[in-house]
Structure formats: C-alpha cells, structure tokens
Structure 1
Amino acid sequence: MPGDPLLNIKSKQKNTYDAIIVGSGISGGWAAKELCEKGLKVLLLDRGRNVVHGEYPTATKDPWDFPHRLSLSLEDKQRNFVQSRHYSFREDNKHFYINDQENPYEETQRFDWIRGDIVGGRSLLWARACYRWSDLDFEANLKDGHGVDWPIRYSDIAPWYDHVESFIGVSGNRDGIAVIPDGKFQPPFEMNCVEKHFKTQVEKNYNDRKVIMGRTANLTRPVKGRGQCQARDLCHRGCPYGAYFSTNASTIPAAYATGNLTVRPHSLVNQVIYDEQKQKASGVEIIDTESKQTETFYAKLIFLNASTVATAFILLNSASNRFPNGLGNGSDQVGRNLMDHHKGISFSAEVEGFEDSYYYGRRPVSIYIPRFRNIAEQHPGFIRGYHFGGSAYRTKAISDIAVGAELKEALTEPGPWQMGLYAFGECLPYADNRITLNHSKKDQWGRPIIAIDCAFRDNEKAMHKDVKATGLEILNAAGFKNPSVRGSISFPGNANHEMGIARMGHDPKTSVLNAWNQMHEVPNVFITDGSCMTSSSCLNPSLTYMALTARACDYAVKEMKKLNI
C-alpha cells in the first residue's frame, strides 16, 4: 500500500550500492574499473544513451556514404550551435554530441562547452595525447604565487602513471626530457622523412628545444581485448578494434568482468544528498531523461566525474542546511578557478625537396616540441609556458582548372611537402573565472541554468603573442620557405581541457579537496575529473586525471576498510 515502510525499505535496498560514480568518461570509467576490481558493488551513472564497444554506427563507412561528404549541414550548425564551434564535431560523429538547443547554458563571456551525450563521454572523442606532468607543473603555483600550492608532487603520482600507462597502452619514446617524464611505453609511431629533417634542424639551431614523436593512447602492439592501431585516423567515430583507449573499449569491459558493475544510462544527476546527522553524503538524486521521473540511489562512497562544468553544477545544486552554497563549499571555492588551455593559431611552411619520398597510412599522432619557455630563464612578458605539435605532409597536385581525365591524372601525383605546427598554452587560475547557477531561469528538467564567466587574461595573451612569433621563427630556422600563420587566440572551453572549480589543496579554507581528491568537508565524496586540478600546466591533462583517479580509488577503499568512510 502507498507509504508502506516495508516497501520503502525494499526500494532503498534495491537502489543501494557500495559506490556510486557520476559520469562515465575518462576518469569515471577508471573509477569504475578500480573500485569494481577492489570488490565494491558499483553503480555508474551517465546522462547519455548507452554505447557498447564495437557498435559504432559510422566506424567503417566511406566518405561517400555521408549525405554531405563529412561537412556539416546548416541544420547541424543551427541545432548544435556550440558543438559546431569545435573542429571535432563532424557529420560522421555528431550522434555522440549533446543537443545544444535542448541543453542551454549562459555564457557571460563566450565559453565553448563541448560535450558528449553518451556512456563513455569524451573518452570516445579525445585526441589521446598522453604526457606526464612534472614538478615543474606541480610546484608552479607555490613558486610564482598564483592559485594555491598543489598538495602532491610528481613522486606521489608517478607509480599511478605507471599503473595507468601499463593498462591503457601509450606509444612513445623514452626521450629523457625532465618536463615530460618518461613512462611505460609501447613502441612509438614513426616520423616521416621531413619530420626527421625538421627534428635535426631544430635541435641543431636550439639548445633548449627538442622534437619528439608524440605520445598517444593508440596501441602499436595489441593488448588483451584490444587490437593494434590501423592508422585509419577515424578515432573520432569510435574504433571497432579498440585500438585507442576509451571507457567503452577498455575500462568498462574490465569493470564488467568482475561482476560488480551496474551501468545506468539516461541518468541526469541533479544533486548529492547530504545526511546532516552523519555528516556524510548518503546518495544522489537523478532525473531519468526518458521517463522524466526522479529517483534516488544510495552508497557509502561517491565519486564525481561528470566533467568540470557538470560537476560544478552538481556541487552548487546540492545545497543543504550545512552547505547552503553547495556541497563542501565552506571555502567558497566551488565553481571558481575555471581553466582551459589557449590555442587557436596554426603555422605552415613550404618544404623544398624530398619529392622522391612519401608515407603510408594516417598516423593518429603528431610530432611534439615540449615546453621550453620559463624553465632555465624567465621570459620578461609572461610566466608558465606552452608546447608545439605538428606534422609534415604532402599536398595534392591538382590544377585549379583540372576536370575529367586531367583531374584524375593529377590526383595520381602527390604535390609538394608542407610543414604545419600548432600550439597549446597554460592558463593561470583566476578566482573570478567561475561557474554559478542562475536560479531565475530553468532548463527542461526544472533545474537552474548553468552560467559560465571565463576569459583569458593578460598573461595568456602575452604568451599567445610569443607563440605566434616563435612558431614562425622555428620554421624559418628549419630552412622552410614562406612560413605563415593564421587564426587567433581561442575562447576558453575550445581546447576541451576545462578544469579547476573544486581544486586540491592543503587548507580547507582555500581549497575543496585534499591530497587524495577527497572533499575536506564531506569525507565520502571524491572528485577526480578535471574539477580537481589546482593549475593547468600546458600539457594534455587526461593521463593525470586517470592516475589521480586510480590513486584516489586505492585510498578510498583502504579508508572504507578502516571504517573511516
């Protein structure tokens, strides 16, 4: 009968797990694997539809199978007016992304929130670059006074980098460069002849600059359950071989193998439920995006891995008597210190010679020039640094007036070589780059609208100016002809490396998480997605998210066994 306490107890038991993970992307998938393998019964929640590894609808299609030959239609751009700001949103993978019209947010200043709407999240869509951070990154805030000091150093996380790299498969060289520590690598992909020449020229002309093969989570040797990369460069469609790391191909299958995992798609997490008496979180409330009904799930341990902006929403929306401004927000740091890398300009130059050489396949990784600014000497215009990536390639030798047989004949001959470069730079943590909730406006679920106010500042702009000059300088030094630059500094969000908003730190008064990614004020809640980051480095952060997640899971389970959680 309605209100029967016995039925309520049975319902709660049915919805109770040892651990709940919110978000199934790169870090959420790792949390599922680690906690399941440690014997916990785990519920993995994601707002998106389910995607099973191997069931990628466009993975083996040819360009002519698409109505617009891989270009976006006007309708695509109108319906996905934010997602289409990013290069990765294409006709062949648009089904993985969120519908912007149905999921609005406010941009006080432009912020490109690029997001998937699938189980696996952006682990299916990432660029797969894998670089370890060093103490140059972990000590930066302390040394130059920006943000707060990281509560960890490289030695704390190095064994967990080992753990993650060994499982996901990272190809690369052991290059002996301090700012990007070596790891456990599979054999690297190979540079082509022009890239090898570029490496020789750059390293001959500069003592502080190295050119290496990029490190990527694409397999050059098979691992259990996953095949070797075929160099199709169609990773953004989902790989039927499992040749690049994704939640769907790697961590979810490992978690399922334990018998301890339950995945619930179409589950939009609304808030974390806080138990005032126990002073812990007791569970999460979700909205089923298909039935529109709310439901509550319970657990002793909660991991928030919804991605930075969505995690900020959950925390801020989880208000209680104890935390009127959001869960664990006694420091007023939740939602603040939002960061992303700046990018946006590209370089190209003509390469003379090498016409007798070509290459095969579409390698899924670029060459890489690690950070060299502000290491031995301080640049007068800015602090922190940036890196370059790039590749050499042959253009198509097609006449503008070629048609018919002339066009076909021209397509059989490759054109001249070109060298291209791009760059990513670090963003400092700023307290007023932040996420808030607008309670006067509601989304389709009746929830307050997310408002994002974030901009790059003088330091990022000065760094970007140096990037522009230095890229041209490097191409000239390599002896390439007519170097050119195009583009301008990106808007925050467009690098897809959003982070901050619930930073780690020593002091609960100035940070949200401790050295183990555990909330200072809510000890059974851990946050290991990009939200936890205290600074942004200029390095791709995903490998660090994975290592921090594995480390936090190990700590959390040990604390549970000690009855501290």
Structure 2
Amino acid sequence: MAENMHYDAIVVGSGISGGWAAKELTERGLKVLMLERGRNIEHLTDYVHAENEAWNYPHRGTATVEMKDNYPVLSRDYPLNEQTFGMWANEQENPYTEAKRFDWFRGYHVGGRSLMWGRQTYRLSDTDFGANEREGIATDWPIRYADIAPWYDHVERFAGISGTNEGLDILPDGQFLPPIPLNIVEKDVAARLRNAFGGKRYLINSRVANITEALPDQNRVACQYRNKCWLGCPYGAYFSTQSATLPAAIATGNLTLRPFSIVKEVLYDKDTKRATGVEIIDAETNMTYEYTANVVFLNASSFNSTWVLMNSATDVWEGGLGSSSGELGHNVMDHHFRVGAEGRVEGYDDKYYFGRRPAGFYIPRFRNTEGEERPYTRGFGYQGSASRQGWRRDIAELNIGADMKEALSKPGDWTIGMTGFGEMLPYHDNFIALDRGTTDKWGLPVLSISVDLRENEMRMREDMKQDAVDIFEAAGVVDVKPTESDYAPGMGIHEMGTARMGCDAATSVLNGNNQVWDAPNVYVTDGACMTSGACVNPSLTYMALTARAAEHAVTALKNGDL
C-alpha cells in the first residue's frame, strides 16, 4: 500500500472517546492514525434524514417486518426504525452470543454512537469515586474527583454543555452554557418539590451537550429546538465526533482517518513489554495490514476495546493482553432504568411552550447520602419532562369524524413523567468472554455476554418506583401512577467495565492513567475503564479521562517513558 504504516499514535475507534483522543493527541503534535471498523459519515452531507418528518418515510418511520427479522436485538427497543436505519451495526455480520440476555446496541461507523447518544452529561462526584473503597466493593478507583475535575472543565468548555450550577456535592457543577429552560409546569413542580422535602430533593435543568450559544470557532450554531438530534444535526448544535473533535483534529494536519478497518489485535513485544502497533482487517477487501506506533489508544467502545485486548498477546497470556489480574472481561455494568411514575398536572390549560426541546429535567441522587441507609447500596437519579398531550392522544368520547379532528387540533392535558437511572454494582461474574465457536463475517470470534441484575438493584428499583410516585404527589401532580416496563442489561446503552482502572496490577487491568499494566503504552479510555458506574450518564467522564490520558501519553513519550 502506498501509505504511511508508522504513526506516533494509533486511536482505535472514532466515537465519543476516540474523537477526543484524536483531538488531544494531534493538537499536542503527534501524528495520529484513527481506525474505524465501519463506514465514514461526513458531517452535514451524510445526515440523510436530518430534515425528514414521519410522513416522509414509507412506513411513517416505524420498523418493518423485514427489519425486525434482520435485527432481532435492535427490535427489542426504540433504536430500530426507518429514521435511523443503517446507523446501527449489522447484526447478521456482527453477531454476539447471549449467555444471559444483553441488549447490545452498537454503532459501527465514523462517529459511532456520538451521533445517536442522549447527550445527558453529568460529572461523577467524590462520593462516586470513593464508594468502592468506602463500602468494600470490588476495587478502589485509583483517582478521586480532584484528579479529574480540571479535565471535566476542559472538555465541557470545548464540547458545549448547557446547564445550571446548583451547588450540590452529589452532582458537581461545571462549565455551563445557559440551560435549555424548564417549561412552566416543570418550574412550578421544582419549587413545590424543594418545599415539600425541605430542600433535600431538587428538580433541575437537564445538563446536555446541546449548545445554547453559537461556537463560531467550531462552526457550530446554537440548538434550534428541533429535537431531531439522533438523525444528525446540520447545525452542529450537539456535541459529536463529526461536529467538534474530528474537525479540530483534522485542522492540525496530523490526523489520518481510515474507515473500514477492523482492528484484530494489538501487536505486543514481550521483550520490551510494549505494544508495537495493531493488525487490522480491511472490512471491504479482507486484506490484513499492520500499522506501528509508539502509543495505542483503545476507544472502540467498552466491549470491543476489551475484545481487542482478549485477542492480543495470547502467546504470553492465555486470556489476552491485560488479563494477568484475572479481571479482563469482568465487572460489566449498565444503568438500570425504565421504572418511575407519571401523572397529570392541572391548572395550566392557558399555558404552552414553543419548540421541541432536546432536554427536560433531572432529579439528582438523594438516596444513601448523608448517612442514610436503605436496604441497598448506591442510588439513582431521575430524567423526565412535562408536556401537553398532542394529536396522538385518545379521546374516549370521540373516535371518528370532524369533531375528533377538531379536538385533536387543540393541545390536551399537561402530563409529566420520569424514569429512574440506577447504579449497577461491579460484579465479577457479570462478564464478557470470547466465543470461539461463533464467528463474524470476517471469521473473528464473537463475544459471549453474561450479565444480570442482582438483589441490590432489584431492591433499588422498588425505591425508584415509589419515590417517583411520592415526589409527584408531593408536588401536586394528580392521577399519579407508577410505571415500569421491560428492562434488560444493555438497554441503557451505558455498558461499562471489563477493563477497569485500579490501584494495583493484581486487581485491575489499568492504572490511574488508563494505561494497561502489562503494556504501559496502551491506553484504554472508553467505558471499559470504569471501576464503578455511579448513577449518572457516563460519557462526560469518558471524555475527561481521555483528555487526561492523552496529556499523560504525550508527556511520557517526550520523557522517553514509553
């Protein structure tokens, strides 16, 4: 091939953390090769459905029978539909084995799930980083909030996070753009909630990666309130690889992007105890190539980064590179959700709102804080919104005709609802492993996944339901009822763990700088590195850890430590 085969650094994966790795490394002067297993998606031009409405699709945007047959996992939830079809991994070409049910929703293309994420962005707190040590669970984080706080600042300023500073220890404040406003009902419910619980429970603005002020240096325009984020934003109003980190990396002149590149393994020199590069399979031609580098960043998503490690250096460690502790592949976590409450809000029939917000409200964790003891450990937060019912609502006394059409042209009742997002503990026997008896389109072994909820999470879900009812009733919501729908691990699309950080090589895969203990020039900074999951959305933490690790890698290279 007439191309460079050696780089200062290789970044595997182009999603949220991979984009940050490429940006930070190139801006610090390294020549970087970014490898993505799927196709390229160009910013703006390849957002083919960004302007479409439901009526522009043959089946009004819903999933067809053929789609359900070909995508049995995606069909379990909302990701399978005409609007985003083609944006999720092909399940026939990329199967996996479910030893226990796990809904694995993957995005194999440039940008990964940064093009489709929910954009909720919250910091982990000192409570979260110290929880494992304090409670004697799993292993201790090798860092604390103070270590990562400056990097939260760094990534928030660049990504553009809208929100409000609240002064809550359990949910640290950040570098925020003006918030996406609460509507009139949410504001009043927030005030009632604070009064009802003596200032112990708060309803605040969602903190989201949607910019509310233009960032002209990034060529990004403020959010237009279209709420079509997962179709690709032609304004660049939400943070993604394509809108933010990739353009920054390209602008340096130091980035080479290679799509259709499936990383088969990290190449390892057992004499120097360092990685020398990676071997890839070209997804289009099936040809194999080797690229060498001084440092490798694995950002292929939690499970796929671990898959790469499991396939690497097997002549040295049977379980793969990073397996010497016995923890590689273990301690899978997700956020369990789909339990909460809903109800009606009276007295606002003369009030409405404008636009389609891509956000709502957030209720931070309030359980098992300040010495409280519930029959479970850790806690949960709520995400929700209030709105007026629209034309899809049922009108019992009308089912056909002009009167029904007239009624549906007017806004219906105000309703409010929310779902809890609870922390899952890092159990060693929630794990992924190679299934060498099953292969993908390219003849590579697939992952077998075995994850389930335990008693701690099931007890927590009872509080997640009852507390939601109590909150709404205390805030004057009427006809309140608990809600609970099907949940299986993976549905939160927050898979974490499998290559956790730790304080020593005997109990963890990575050190406090996200380096693989067994190969210090290999960094893992996506969700695989998480030692515990907290109850907040994790992507902001991946960004911060990635930026932090990139600085460490560049400094270490300059000092000759790698």
- Residue 51 of structure 1 aligns with an amino acid whose one-letter code is I
Residue 49 (structure 1) aligned to one of 39, 45, 48? 39
Partner of 1:216: 208
Q: Which range moved further: 250-259 or 196-205?
A: 196-205
Residue 495 (structure 2) aligned to one of 492, 498, 506? 498
The answer to whether the 8 Å contact 1:58/1:237 transfers is yes
Whole-Å separation in 2 of the counterparts to 1:359 and 1:182: 27
The answer to whether the 8 Å contact 2:340/2:469 transfers is no
- Residue 322 of structure 1 aligns with an amino acid whose one-letter code is V
Q: Does 1:28 align with 2:22?
A: no
Q: Does the C-alpha gap of structure 1 residues 67 and 174 become closer, same or farther in structure 2, counting only changes over 3 Å?
A: same
Partner of 1:304: 298
Partner of 1:6: none
- Residue 19 of structure 2 aligns with an amino acid whose one-letter code is G
Question: Aligned-pair distance for 1:221?
Answer: 0.1
Alpha-carbon displacement from aligned partner over 1:95-118 (angstroms, at most 9, x marks no partner): 211111221111010001111121
Q: Does the C-alpha gap of structure 1 residues 179 and 310 become closer, same or farther in structure 2, counting only changes over 3 Å?
A: same
Partner of 1:161: 152
- Residue 545 of structure 1 aligns with an amino acid whose one-letter code is Y
Q: Does 1:318 align with 2:315?
A: no
Residue 537 (structure 1) aligned to one of 534, 542, 546? 534
Whole-Å separation in 1 of the counterparts to 2:286 and 2:401: 56
Aligned positions of 1:58-207 closer than 5 A = 58-207=49-198
Q: Does the C-alpha gap of structure 1 residues 399 and 468 become closer, same or farther in structure 2, counting only changes over 3 Å?
A: closer
Partner of 1:470: 467
Whole-Å separation in 1 of the counterparts to 2:2 and 2:455: 52
Whole-Å separation in 1 of the counterparts to 2:3 and 2:233: 38
Question: Aligned-pair distance for 1:438?
Answer: 1.6
Task: Provide the secondary structure at the position in 1 that maps to 2:343.
Answer: strand
Task: Provide the secondary structure at the position in 2 that maps to 1:44.
Answer: strand
Whole-Å separation in 1 of the counterparts to 2:28 and 2:322: 27
Question: Aligned-pair distance for 1:435?
Answer: 0.7
Partner of 1:228: 222
Partner of 1:3: none
Task: Provide the secondary structure at the position in 2 that maps to 1:98.
Answer: coil
Question: Aligned-pair distance for 1:133?
Answer: 0.9
The answer to whether the 8 Å contact 2:18/2:299 transfers is yes
Question: Aligned-pair distance for 1:476?
Answer: 1.1
Q: Which range moved further: 397-406 or 160-169?
A: 397-406
Partner of 1:437: 434
Question: Aligned-pair distance for 1:378?
Answer: 2.8
- Residue 374 of structure 1 aligns with an amino acid whose one-letter code is N
The answer to whether the 8 Å contact 1:86/1:114 transfers is no
Whole-Å separation in 1 of the counterparts to 2:38 and 2:472: 44
Task: Provide the secondary structure at the position in 1 that maps to 2:479.
Answer: strand
Q: Which range moved further: 201-210 or 229-238?
A: 201-210
Aligned positions of 1:256-335 closer than 5 A = 256-335=250-329
Q: Does the C-alpha gap of structure 1 residues 507 and 398 become closer, same or farther in structure 2, counting only changes over 3 Å?
A: closer
Q: Does 1:245 align with 2:245?
A: no
Alpha-carbon displacement from aligned partner over 1:44-83 (angstroms, at most 9, x marks no partner): 0111110011020000112211011111111111111112
Whole-Å separation in 1 of the counterparts to 2:381 and 2:364: 5
Whole-Å separation in 2 of the counterparts to 1:443 and 1:398: 46
- Residue 209 of structure 1 aligns with an amino acid whose one-letter code is R
Question: Aligned-pair distance for 1:249?
Answer: 0.8
Partner of 1:393: 387
Whole-Å separation in 1 of the counterparts to 2:446 and 2:154: 39
Task: Provide the secondary structure at the position in 2 that maps to 1:202.
Answer: helix
Question: Aligned-pair distance for 1:402?
Answer: 4.5
Task: Provide the secondary structure at the position in 1 that maps to 2:143.
Answer: coil
TM-score, normalized by length of structure 1?
0.96
Partner of 1:15: 5
The answer to whether the 8 Å contact 1:70/1:90 transfers is yes
Gaps of 5+ in 2: none
Alpha-carbon displacement from aligned partner over 1:262-295 (angstroms, at most 9, x marks no partner): 1111111111111122211111111111111111
Whole-Å separation in 2 of the counterparts to 1:126 and 1:380: 32
Partner of 2:517: 520
Task: Provide the secondary structure at the position in 2 that maps to 1:217.
Answer: coil
Whole-Å separation in 2 of the counterparts to 1:398 and 1:205: 33
The answer to whether the 8 Å contact 1:342/1:489 transfers is no
The answer to whether the 8 Å contact 1:43/1:261 transfers is yes
The answer to whether the 8 Å contact 2:10/2:35 transfers is yes
The answer to whether the 8 Å contact 2:367/2:374 transfers is no
The answer to whether the 8 Å contact 2:465/2:483 transfers is no
Task: Provide the secondary structure at the position in 2 that maps to 1:77.
Answer: helix
Gaps of 5+ in 1: 1-10
The answer to whether the 8 Å contact 2:165/2:173 transfers is yes
Question: Aligned-pair distance for 1:163?
Answer: 0.4
Q: Which range moved further: 407-416 or 271-280?
A: 407-416
Task: Provide the secondary structure at the position in 2 that maps to 1:27.
Answer: helix
Whole-Å separation in 2 of the counterparts to 1:131 and 1:504: 20
Residue 349 (structure 1) aligned to one of 343, 348, 351? 343
The answer to whether the 8 Å contact 1:47/1:265 transfers is yes
Q: Does 1:38 align with 2:35?
A: no
The answer to whether the 8 Å contact 1:343/1:489 transfers is no
The answer to whether the 8 Å contact 1:398/1:411 transfers is no
The answer to whether the 8 Å contact 1:12/1:297 transfers is no
Question: Aligned-pair distance for 1:386?
Answer: 0.1
The percent of aligned pairs where both chains have the same amino acid is 50
Q: Which range moved further: 281-290 or 406-415?
A: 406-415
Whole-Å separation in 1 of the counterparts to 2:314 and 2:37: 24
Give the CA RMSD over aligned residues: 1.4
Partner of 1:374: 368
The answer to whether the 8 Å contact 1:83/1:115 transfers is no
Whole-Å separation in 1 of the counterparts to 2:2 and 2:320: 25
Whole-Å separation in 2 of the counterparts to 1:444 and 1:321: 25
The answer to whether the 8 Å contact 1:398/1:407 transfers is no
TM-score, normalized by length of structure 2?
0.97
- The runs of at least 4 aligned residues of structure 1 exceeding 4 Å deviation read none
Task: Provide the secondary structure at the position in 2 that maps to 1:515.
Answer: coil
Aligned positions of 1:550-561 closer than 5 A = 550-561=547-558
